[in-house]
Structure 1
Amino acid sequence: MPNAFLHSGYVLGTVGTLAIGLICTYCIHMLVCDVYLPPLDVRVFMVFLLLPLILINWIRNLKLLAPFSTAANIITFVGFGIILYYLVTQVETLADKEPLGELAHIPLFFGTVLFALEAIGVILPLENNMKTPGSFGGACGVLNQAMITIILLYVGMGFIGYMTYGAATAGSITINLPKDEPLAQSVKLMLSVAIFVSHGLQCYIAVDITWGQYLLPRLEKHRHKTFIEYVVRAGLVLVTCECNKGTGASHIPTIVLVTVLLAVAIPRLELFISLFGALCLSALGIVLPAIIQTSTFWYSLDRSHLLAMVVKNLLLVLFGVFGLVVGTYTALSDIFKSFQ
């Protein structure tokens, strides 16, 4: 040690020795805890994320969420690029791959794809907040350009991923990546950050409906309305205040807390995605648009166009209801089996 102080000087030697000693002690504690204490369940880590998710959902302005969404998109594309690199370099032949899956698993496919592609909860508020909403639709509008890009990306990712890992494909493709390569493991961090920073945008429509359209008109003159809004955004189970009596607003649905509790209750990501896609998005993304269009244009179309619209929308409703019932049943059955 005197020779070490010779190289560092007495000030740096004293401070450095204390700092290195603390670090060594901490690392020893880490090793001891890892050996003698039970490992933390993944659900505990989910609960740790609750507070950061609440904080990012406290951002009230959609324009302030745009930079987070842009950063998430960049991070996601970088992560996808790394994943595609590993998939392409490890891709195998079609020899042991099934061209058609089992009929019992098709509903899980339906729910997962619908979950990935259906973004009705984000699309509508984004259109309403665009500087030029007219450029959203149309043959070459923002919606078609974005959806074509996303669909092609997902088709390529799904096809190449299955070709690479076959029957060993996990619920998340990141689980299949090499665990001994830092670049592969960095993808998990990238996608986690991307999902985290864009969580506020994903919850925007739920907050907008719950607070902006339902609660705010009833609490417009309340002096603590800003505080109540933050409580709603935080996702508390019940919020009660004197002014809410008789307004029907005493029970505020959970927002952030619900997502965390569902993730804790169902840690099987692929089953949760299939359940949510089949149960919610088949109704919101397929059934309701068909019903709304039929109701809106029922009296404004001539007989031939009305008949074509009714037939088309009836087929969509039947398809959506079938996917909802069968997909939900299959996902719930697999969830129950996973707990047995």
Structure 2
Amino acid sequence: MFVYEFMAGIVDQIKGEDAADSFDPHVHRKVEKPTSYSDTMIHLLKGSIGAGVLAMSDAVSRVGILLGIIGVALIGSFATYCIQLLIAAQYELCKRHRRGYIQYPESMLLALQDGPPCLRFSAKAYYYFVETTLVLWQIGICTIYCVFVSENIKQVCDYYGQEISLRWHICFLLIPLTAMGLVKDLKLLTPFSSISNVVTLFGFILVFFYLIEDDVTLDQNKLKLKGYIEIPVFVGTTLFALEAVGVVLALEYNMEKPKQFVGLFGLFNIGMVIIMSLYVLMGVFGYLKYGDEVKASLTLNLPHDQKKAQAAKLIFALAILLTFPLQNFVAYNILWQKIKKVIGENNRAILADYALRIALVILPWSLAVAVPKLGPFIALFGALCLSLLAIVFPGLMDACVWYPNKYGMCRYRLVRDIFIVVIGIACLVSGCYTSLLEIMAAGNH
């Protein structure tokens, strides 16, 4: 860990200060309980290594092993680059407005107000659009987590004769989820993430035991693309697995030394390399083991009657359960800032705080009870929300921040941003279309 911190520091020194504007937003950022480098790395890994990693085998099965490996590397690198652009654009806006930090929705508002005249009228609409998408995304993740935990627990309980419906298993989660949802800040969530990381490591060891215990055969069919219509679902699933935009921005904001978060050897890039490597391994070996029979979550393919498989399912269920409050923190933070402005600091604020935390547990829990489906919804949420949050919005914001005459040689920044927005819209439309087709097909069976 020290090596990564040291390299990040070297890059920061080489970069130097801008003499024209010495205002450093990081110095003026007020965080009550900032997280250390190691705390932030733990949160990043846990925020991005969740139910999505266990869906990668299903994603790889759709496009074949070769395209799966290349696809994860390309999508992961592209999405990471877009988030780096987003953080850089937010930093530039903070310098212009001489503020310590500007949240994602307001950053979009200010960027559009400074951007081309044809876009300025939509600045306020985009502000609410970004906020709504962020909240929907985090609620969607929490909904999927509820279903994931319950499905794995149900398989174990069913084997031992305790057969009840999946919805009842989801109902039993309400009390522990509510208790964890009342935790106040990210610093206090570190123990949850630490425990979750430890049990996740044991879970991966157990899963890999099953993936490599038998000789696997690499036939030509597993290398080939099944069909072009499968590509958007693969992209949506991979985006869902890789990017937790709201968590990433919250971690960058709460980090004790935020300059160490970005850059070539920054914490974010280091973490994403680790995450992508794990996704490739899990996706490829899972597909080699189970072939076309692989399910939406790899744990659901494990044997029902073996103790190690049952332990792996329960371990991952516990790990995802402990990640729930971290994912819920982003939606809470957005909504609480608005509520606090209305009611101020008083006794009512304390009651409203707890009411909001409880509501943000009950809402995704209720959606999970109403629609307890896992597979197609992972790709749908990835295509719908992350195509916007991680690709389209960063490209649009960056294009507006550097308007009108700071696009660089041959206006390369503008060309790059247009390309990013077009790619993001293509992922959005194609991913949502194919995911909705799968959801409708599943509903007809």
Q: Report the TM range for the smaller structure's normalisation.
A: 0.7 to 0.9
CA distance, structure 2, for counterparts of residue 339 and residue 257 of structure 1: 25
Q: How much has 1:194 moved relative to structure 2? A: 0.8
Q: CA deviation at 1:83?
A: 1.0
C-alpha distance in structure 2 between counterparts of 1:91 and 1:177, whole Å: 16
Indicate which of 37, 54, 63 corresponds to 2:178: 54
Greater Cα shift, 177-186 or 98-107: 98-107
Tell me which amino acid in the other structure corresponds to 1:278.
A
Determine the structure 1 residue equivalent to 2:334.
209
Q: Which sections of structure 2, spanning at least 5 residues, go unmatched? A: 1-156
Residues 135 and 275 of structure 1, relative CA distance in 2, 3 Å threshold? same
CA, structure 1 residues 269+302, in 2 after alignment: closer, same or farther (shift >3 Å)? closer
2:420 is aligned to 316
Q: Which digits, 9 at most, give the CA deviation of each residue in 1:74-101, with x for residues without a partner?
A: 2112211211121122352122424212
Q: CA RMSD in A?
A: 1.8
Q: 1:69 to 1:300 in 2, by over 3 A?
A: farther
Distance 2:257 2:353 in 1: 29
Contact 1:178 1:184 in 2 (8 A): yes
Shift of 1:264: 2.6
**Identical amino acids, percent of aligned pairs:** 38
The match for 1:292 among 390, 397, 403 is: 397
Residue of structure 2 aligned with 1:111, choices 213, 216, 236: 236
Change (3 A) 1:128 1:73: same
Return the offset for 1:321: 0.9
Alignment partner of 2:188 out of 56, 64, 73 = 64
1:279 lines up with 2:404 in the alignment: no
**In the alignment, which of 299, 319, 324 is matched to residue 174 of structure 1?**
299
Q: Secondary structure of 1:161's partner?
A: helix
> Partner of 2:42 in structure 1?
none
Q: How does 1:44-193 map to 2 (within 5 A)?
A: 44-95=168-219, 96-193=221-318
Q: How many Å separate the matches in 1 of 2:428 and 2:376?
A: 14
1 CA distance for matches of 2:414 and 2:224?
Answer: 34
Aligned 1:172-251 pairs, distance under 5 A:
172-211=297-336, 213-235=337-359
> 1:100-148, CA deviations, whole angstroms, 9 ceiling, x for partnerless residues?
1222222211111000001111011111111111111111111011000
The number of equivalent residue pairs is 284
Q: C-alpha distance in 2, partners of 1:129/1:112?
A: 28
Q: TM-score, structure 2 length as denominator?
A: 0.61
Task: Report the 3-state secondary structure (helix = DSSP H, G, I; strand = E; otherwise coil) of the residue aligned with 1:273.
Answer: helix
- Contact 1:112/1:270 (CA < 8 Å) preserved in 2? no
1:303 deviates by 4.6
Aligned partners of 1:94, 1:258: CA distance in 2, in Å?
44
Alignment CA distance shift 1:176-1:90 (3 Å): farther
Structure 2 distance, partners of 1:161, 1:303, is 45
The question of whether the paired residues in 1 share the 8 Å contact of 2:407 and 2:414 is answered with no
Deviation at 1:40, TM superposition (A): 2.2
Look up the SS of the partner of 1:203 in the other structure: helix
Greater relative contact order structure (CA < 8 Å, 6+ sep): 2
**Residues 1:335 and 2:434 are matched in the alignment:** no
Deviations 1:243-262 (A, max 9, x none): xxxxxxxxxxxx22232233
In the TM superposition, residue 302 of structure 1 has moved relative to its aligned partner by: 5.0
Cα drift, residue 296 of structure 1: 1.2
- DSSP 3-state at the match of 2:196: helix
8 A Cα contact 2:407 2:413, kept in partner? no
Question: Counterpart amino acid of 2:188?
Answer: L
CA contact (8 A) 1:266 1:272 kept: no
